Structure 1
Amino acid sequence: HTNTALALALVLAIAIALTHPSPPGACLLPMALRFVLLPAPLLLLPGTLGSTCFRNALLHLLIADVLSNLHAFLTIVTNHAGSDLYRFSTGCSPHSPTFMLRQVLSSANYRTGGDVNDFLHGFLNYQVEHHIWPTLSMLSYQKAQPELQAICEAHGVPYVQESVWRRLVRTIRIMIGDTSMREWPGHPGEDEPPEVAAPPPGVVIF
């Protein structure tokens, strides 16, 4: 009976939050739905079984949430940060040559190639290609990657590709203030090759 009453109280509290939303409640509501309402039916189980199952389910949900957020950080943030990537203080015309150039200079790829490798990276290892062609399929990214890299090399445009762990180190160095993103136009750092610090010859930034 205690478990049943608790489950009903949880459902009632969430229902009240839905009908009387407030800024703090609106932020907490998704968390309540995920971590409270989802495992709440387990409280209907008899005796201590219900509360035990509820606690275990809540613990597993929390662990899964932490791990998924760590994976998302590792595969998304780190290929947008690093002392070898640029940040821009002015805008440019969408889909212009300058826009395309900036997509390459401000993002990095991880190791690419192979279905298993790409799956483990969530296909986020094609970040440069994704920035250039955001609507392409994952298979198209696999095909486009070597061609885009060859185009960049032919025109002297830096095309950054490193392992996810090396990108993580670069991101942490940004976070602790050891290094910073390059400002366009930038200057080479002590540990960076000078050819990645200046715009390619003939390129005009609007």
Structure 2
Amino acid sequence: MRSIEAPQHPHTDYSVLLRQVRAAGLLNRRPRYYLWHSAIVLLALIGGWAAVVVIGDSWWQLATAAFLAVVFGQLGFLGHDAGHRQITGLRRTDHLLGLLFGNFAIGIGTGWWTDKHNRHHAHPNTEDADPDAMGVLALSSERARSGRGLRRVIFRYQGILFFPMLLLEGWNLHVASVRAIARGTIRRRGFEAVMMFAHAAVYFGTVFLVLPPVKAIVFVFVHQGLFGLYLGMAFAPNHKGMPVLSAADKTDYLRRQVLTARNIRGGLVTDIAFGGLNYQIEHHLFPSMPRPNLRRAQPMVAAYCAGIEVPYLETGVLASYAQSVGHLHAVGQSVRRTEPGR
């Protein structure tokens, strides 16, 4: 794992950038953007489910499943923004929006996800602190070599298994949400449970009422698999392959956020497809910044980082996946080299 030397005046660097961003109005709310964007996504959701009912008993429903997988991903991005209070800036209102976009619309628990994601933001790519760095994949050779049993097998071949495993990510999010509610590790779990139950009732009720059992089961697996793949491909390039920090690392806030993240170049299509997460560095520096402001903040942050000599990584979409998967493969190789007979 890499430890990055902190500067002599770490807090000054971030505070100067923060003042520039605030003076440019980039932390101001963007209610009109979220109003029309949410309306479009919700209309797409309604249209997708209407198509399921209209098409009826047909294998063409697999196309509907793929469409709804993308819509669910877009709802996930809105839930992400609500969790960061990007939409209204009001804790209760954004929480309610998170329940709508997350629990009810796509069946992912807002309370569980927000807690997990906030811990990730506080300690990005930090093993023993960032939950995203302690999951089913190993980001460092040290952790990969410590794996045992099935986990060690996954670590060994994680570069090859990465994309196939993303097909299970949708199920993983649902199961983790239900577990958090059952264990009582979140606040207002009763309300969250009701919203999750309502989602399941509408989702499975619609699918199994419209389709015969075999087609219904295939629809669910295709939809959930593609949903997980889409979300995973949006989140995966953000940190994988970037420096992994130890829990004892004392890197200052600005450098911790910039050096462990990767931006993805692109235009409007990239912004929509990645839900603004292609501006991962700006998002980590200013988590409550509304999504449409991230594009405007990017050149300001890049120029500032260049001025204080902090490496700022921005790459293309395909290059980001190549770097991410290449890193996972290299970590897996470290496991294979230490095994007997190698």
Task: Answer whether TM exceeds 0.5 for this pair.
Answer: yes
In the superposition, the TM-score normalised over structure 2's length comes to 0.36
The one-letter code sitting in structure 1 at the alignment partner of 2:214 is R
Structure number with greater Rg is 1
Greater relative CO (CA pairs within 8 A, separation 6+): 2
In the superposition, the TM-score normalised over structure 1's length comes to 0.58
- Unpaired runs of 5+ in structure 1? 1-22, 181-206
Deviation at 1:164, TM superposition (A): 2.2
Q: 1:94-173 maps to which residues of 2 (within 5 A)?
A: 98-112=252-266, 114-173=267-326
Report the counterpart of residue 75 of structure 1 in structure 2: 234
* Higher share of residues assigned helix: 2
- Unpaired runs of 5+ in structure 2? 1-174, 183-192, 334-342
**Residue 88 of structure 1 pairs with residue 242 of structure 2:** no
* Shift in alpha-carbon separation, 1:170–1:39, aligned structure 2, 3 A: same
CA distance in 2, matches of 1:164, 1:75: 10
CA distance in 2, matches of 1:40, 1:116: 34
Percent identity (aligned):
25
Deviation at 1:78, TM superposition (A): 1.7
The one-letter code sitting in structure 1 at the alignment partner of 2:280 is Q
The one-letter code sitting in structure 2 at the alignment partner of 1:86 is P
Q: 1:25-64 maps to which residues of 2 (within 5 A)?
A: 27=179, 38-40=203-205, 52=212, 54-64=213-223
More off after superposition, 30-39 vs 159-168: 30-39
Q: 1:12-31 maps to which residues of 2 (within 5 A)?
A: 27=179
CA distance in 2, matches of 1:51, 1:118: 35
Q: Does the 8 Å contact 2:276/2:292 carry over to 1?
A: no
CA distance in 2, matches of 1:171, 1:157: 21
Off by >6 Å, runs of 4+ in structure 1: 29-37
